Structure formats: structure tokens, C-alpha cells
Amino acid sequence: MSSFTTSPEFDYYYKACRKGDPEAKAVAVSYSSVGVLADASEVTGLPRDTFEVHQISKAEFEGLLRH
């Protein structure tokens, strides 16, 4: 299996938030810390360095996916 293949069995979940956002509202969520930055940039049209990545729990990840 390639290291680039995503697996639904990852125990790590991430959200990307705008830097300086006191509420740390998620712009994007992903299984990949690098991928979540790319997703946030694509969704907003802003550069990747506009965001910071936070590791989150599985429950928070699943909750954010529902919204």
C-alpha cells in the first residue's frame, strides 16, 4: 500500500481555521493535515499560509462533516 493512499481507519482528524480566529471555526476538515490546508485554500481562494491546522477528535470531525 502506498503511503499516499488514504485509509478510513486513520485515528487522526484535522480542521483548518483562519489564523487569528479566536473561535477557531473550521473552514475545512480532512484525514490529512496537508490536505486540509489545500481544501481550505481551494474553498476560500486564499493562500494556504492564511490557515492553521488543528488536530480534532473523531466526534468533532464527524459533527463538522454533518454541517
In this prediction, residue 67 carries a pLDDT of 75
| Residue the block writes with cell 485509509 | 7
How far apart (Å, rounded) are the C-alpha atoms in residues 27 and 4? 23
Of the chain, the percentage scoring pLDDT greater than 90 comes to: 79
Helix (H), strand (E) at residue 30: strand 26-30
- Mean pLDDT of the 43-63 span: 95
User: Between these two residues, 37 and 6, which has the higher pLDDT value?
Assistant: 37
∠15-20-23 over CA atoms, to 5°?
A: 60
Among candidate residues 37, 31, 24, the one with its CA nearest the CA of residue 5: 31
